Chains A and B, each alone.
Chain A
Amino acid sequence: MAENVTPRVRVPKEAAAGEVITIKTLISHPMESGQRKDKDGNLIPRSIINRFTCTFNGKTVIDVAMEPAISTNPYFEFQAKVPESGTFTFTWIDDDGSTYEDTKEIAVA
């Protein structure tokens, strides 16, 4: 498991029913591509987050399959429709099988 992996997500606290909101996510992760070599010329093994999903009350908003060409500290910005009050769940899945999760509540006024 990569060290010090901290997800950060920005979601508005409130929205109107059916409103489309912008969500920004960032997670600190080295995203070692498997292309780089260390000082002795040995290949540094690949260690990346290979999948990111965002769901709202269990329904998918976005599901991203990620490859090593995604930069260090993967950043995503996308839009979601908010039909009712509920919870956004953000999940990142690491190559080593560990998952990182964050949730955000949103209230429909």
Chain B
Amino acid sequence: MSFSRRQTLAIMAGSGLSVMLGGRMALATPTEELIANFTGGAEITGEGLTLTAPEIAENGNTVPVEVDAPGAEAIILLATGNPNPDVGVFHFGPLAGAQMASTRIRLAGTQEVVAIAKMSDGSFARAAQEVKVTIGGCGG
């Protein structure tokens, strides 16, 4: 059985569709650099940091997040999938009633939000959560 011209074209078009969907490589480097700057290269072994973020955010322009780490001196918040992963650093003073803060952040797309807390004993704790974003919060 020989293929007609039409069938041949259909087969060629089909094979063209099998485009390699280049897996979006996790560009961990900027995030890792920011973490290293914050920790000074120390290992993150501690516990006691809670990161609260929605599993699904309909609007990436304003995603509520909360960090809570009793006994922390500072907490850095990172959005690993943003053009600039750093979101902010919370420093707690002597009159902080609890080492917690909540705010609203921008997420460019579905990604992992990471928080690292610097504890008063010098150790570091990490928490992360994946947030699915329906509409990204970058660009017009």
Contact = CB atoms under 8 A, between A and B. Distances in A.
B102 interface: yes
B97 interface: yes
Given A63-B91, A80-B95, A81-B96, A70 B84 contact: no
A59 interface: yes
B103 A76 contact: yes
B138 A36 contact: yes
A84 to B, nearest CB: 11
Given A62-B101, A71-B105, A78 B88 contact: no
Interface residues of B, number: 33
Given A65-B89, A67-B87, A69-B88, A59 B95 contact: yes
Given A62-B101, A70-B104, A36 B93 contact: no
B138 A33 contact: yes
B88 A67 contact: yes
A39 B95 CA distance: 47
B132 interface: no
Which size class do A's interface residues fall under?
20 to 34
A35 B79 CA distance: 15
Contacts of A7: none
Contacts of B105: 69-71
A62 B87 contact: no
Nearest to B88: A66
B96 A62 contact: yes
A63 to B, nearest CB: 4
B121 to A, nearest CB: 20
A60 B82 contact: no
Interface of A: 20-22, 33, 35-38, 55-56, 59-72, 74-81, 83
Interface of B: 61-63, 66, 79, 82-84, 86-98, 100-107, 137-140
